[in-house]
Structure 1
Amino acid sequence: MRQFTAIVNPTAGGSAAAAALLDVARPLREAGADLETQYSRSLAHAQELARDAGARGRVVLAVGGDGMAGGVGGALSGTDALLGLVPAGRGNDFARALDLPTDPAALAVALLNHEPREVDIIEVESAVHQRTVALGSVYAGVDALANRHANNATLLRGAASYYAGGLRAVTTWRAARYRVTVDGQEHLHTGYTVVAANSGYYGSGRLIAPDARVDDGLLEVVMIREAPRRLFFALMNELKTGAHVRRPEVRILRGKEIRIAADREVPYGADGEVEAILPVTVRVLPGALRVLC
């Protein structure tokens, strides 16, 4: 019987995280599993708690959104520790990529019985953030600005907050000139964004990179070039299904190490959490994390 340590940040996600954990905790304990809960003071403290629990042979449950999953997952990467996710954030995009059950009882069954899967992670380096880890994607441009607006939203949650943030960001965005280096080869790009995706989803269920796989050892690089704003709004709607990749304004590359720079201050984000300015270098770490899914 697996033993679990749930890590919760009481200041991020609030009652949603507590409620999500409670719903999963009940069937876990009814099955006879040992479950302890640790409350973190910060993401760094959550990582410290995760490393300690993993070293004790316990399954570490990241309770929260993609940022919490990435932070805890980064702490466990390169070890034999098992990560479990209890989605309770705005986006939950990495859980979506893993096809995790949304029903708490079904999720408990997966955590108790399913075999771990080795998945890739993204190592992120910049002048500001010397080394961080992301599970889903790193994105530089209008989507990073949209994510900032979504995180600051008080009246909207989930997909609605991302959509509203996107509309606000697009109306003020001017095209940036990017230099995107993929495995040593430089590509010039003028447009809205560059996304280095390990998972296909970002922005609360938008399928930015339909062919991305979390265990293929590669990152999908999605570049959306300059276009009339009305076209970009149409493209935003196509992100629901991934149909945008058929447009000539969208270019997709694949690689293991990507450096993104720009001719002006362009924000980038990672899994909805990191907010910084280009340049940034990202690289895939194949099979670095063991996840129950």
Structure 2
Amino acid sequence: MPLDPTTICVIANPRSGRNSQDAQAIHAAMEVFGTATLRHWQDGEDMKDAVRRAVDDGFTTIVAAGGDGTVMGVANALVHGDANLAVLPLGTFNYYARGLQLPQDPRAAAQAILNGHPHRISVGAVNGTVFLNNASLGIYPAILKQRESVYERFGRRRIAAHWSVLKTFMRYRKPWRVTLSMNGRTQTVSTPLIFVARSAYQLERFGLPGAAEISDDDLVLFIAQAEGRLALLKTTWRLCTRKVALNRDVTLLHADSFTIDTRKSSLLAAYDGEKSRMPTPIRFEILRDALSIILPDAADRVDTP
């Protein structure tokens, strides 16, 4: 039975109304949604507040209109609740939506949401913050931080993004030394990157193993083995060309929870493209059956590249 459009609230970034491409996509989706409600959270407003207000107003399905960062933000507001999360993909990569086999066309995506059905899933969390695709410590959060400053100076251009990666790599000196506690054991690890995956689709895109462990509701932990700058560049190239090898480039571990500790009082963490500084020790864990999502029915699923 299709979802009742009157119970659906579409939550969109305030900037999407000024972005002609996103505005057109949202308009097309709303034509399909019919009597559903569209809301933009206000500049300076916490997105969680806008989502929770929609739930308090009686909406039972909240559609995150945006990219993976927007979807993650809405998920954090809905975790452990009864309202459903649905996704209208408007981002660049849309890993989460692609993993659900949602159409990328806004009209088709809206119709798939209407025809879909609720399903509870387990999600990853880092120090209590939900992530749906991945979280990481080390050089990738540093790249995101560098990218912000480069964007402020040169604008949001692809070459500026590439420059932020190169600039971060050139400043790289030596691996981080951390203490990993997992499955009752503790070990010291030296690495430039700890990457924690929850998206089987994303792993398959990069030719990485771990999909079976994710299906078993574990976190999949990749520890980069590169010691120096050249080794890190080689690992990055192998990742881009889908040639990363276990035990040569990365170590793979999996568990439903683990902690990372250092002598520092906090570490910069990235999660689904967002970042923040978090107090140590940093705890990664699976929150079981914590989120209700709208899954597309078989007839509406698409194979996405």
Cα–Cα, structure 1 residues 162 and 282, in superposed 2: closer, same or farther, change >3 Å? farther
For 1:110-151, what per-residue CA distance to the aligned partner results, in whole angstroms no more than 9, with x for missing partners? 1111223332222222xxxxx422222220000111122334
Shift of 1:243: 3.3
**14-23 or 60-69, larger mean C-alpha shift:** 14-23
For 1:211-260, what per-residue CA distance to the aligned partner results, in whole angstroms no more than 9, with x for missing partners? 24665321001100233433322322333465314351300111111211
| TM-score normalised per structure 2 | 0.79
- Name 1:142's counterpart in structure 2: 139
Sequence identity percentage: 23
Corresponding residue to 2:29 among 15, 24, 27:
24
Corresponding residue to 1:9 among 3, 13, 21:
13
CA distance in 1, matches of 2:141, 2:67: 17
Give structure 1 stretches of 5+ with no counterpart.
126-130
CA distance in 2, matches of 1:117, 1:110: 14
Q: Aligned pair 1:195/2:195, yes or no? A: yes
The one-letter code matched in structure 1 to 2:39 is Q
**108-117 or 265-274, larger mean C-alpha shift:** 265-274
CA distance in 2, matches of 1:43, 1:133: 21
Q: 1:155-234 maps to which residues of 2 (within 5 A)?
A: 155-157=156-158, 163-174=162-173, 175-200=175-200, 207=206, 210-212=209-211, 216-234=216-234
* 3-state secondary structure, aligned to 1:244: coil
- Name 1:61's counterpart in structure 2: 63
**52-61 or 110-119, larger mean C-alpha shift:** 52-61
CA distance in 2, matches of 1:184, 1:18: 50
- Name 2:301's counterpart in structure 1: none
CA distance in 1, matches of 2:194, 2:17: 28
Corresponding residue to 2:85 among 79, 83, 86:
83
Shift of 1:206: 6.4
Shift of 1:107: 1.0
Q: Aligned pair 1:104/2:114, yes or no? A: no
Q: Please tell me the root mean square deviation across aligned C-alpha atoms, in Å.
A: 3.0
Cα–Cα, structure 1 residues 260 and 143, in superposed 2: closer, same or farther, change >3 Å? same
Residues 140 and 278 in structure 1, CA contact (< 8 A), matched pair in contact too? no
Cα–Cα, structure 1 residues 150 and 141, in superposed 2: closer, same or farther, change >3 Å? same
Residues 76 and 83 in structure 1, CA contact (< 8 A), matched pair in contact too? yes
CA distance in 1, matches of 2:184, 2:284: 13
Structure showing greater Rg: 2
Residues 189 and 225 in structure 1, CA contact (< 8 A), matched pair in contact too? no
Residues 59 and 84 in structure 1, CA contact (< 8 A), matched pair in contact too? yes
Corresponding residue to 1:132 among 129, 134, 139:
129
CA distance in 2, matches of 1:70, 1:257: 20
| TM-score normalised per structure 1 | 0.82
CA distance in 1, matches of 2:263, 2:52: 39
CA distance in 1, matches of 2:161, 2:279: 22
Residues 260 and 278 in structure 1, CA contact (< 8 A), matched pair in contact too? no
Cα–Cα, structure 1 residues 243 and 67, in superposed 2: closer, same or farther, change >3 Å? same
CA distance in 2, matches of 1:272, 1:71: 11
Shift of 1:165: 3.2
Cα–Cα, structure 1 residues 65 and 149, in superposed 2: closer, same or farther, change >3 Å? farther
CA distance in 1, matches of 2:202, 2:278: 19
Question: Which structure shows the higher helix fraction?
Answer: 2
CA distance in 2, matches of 1:91, 1:186: 36
Shift of 1:78: 1.7
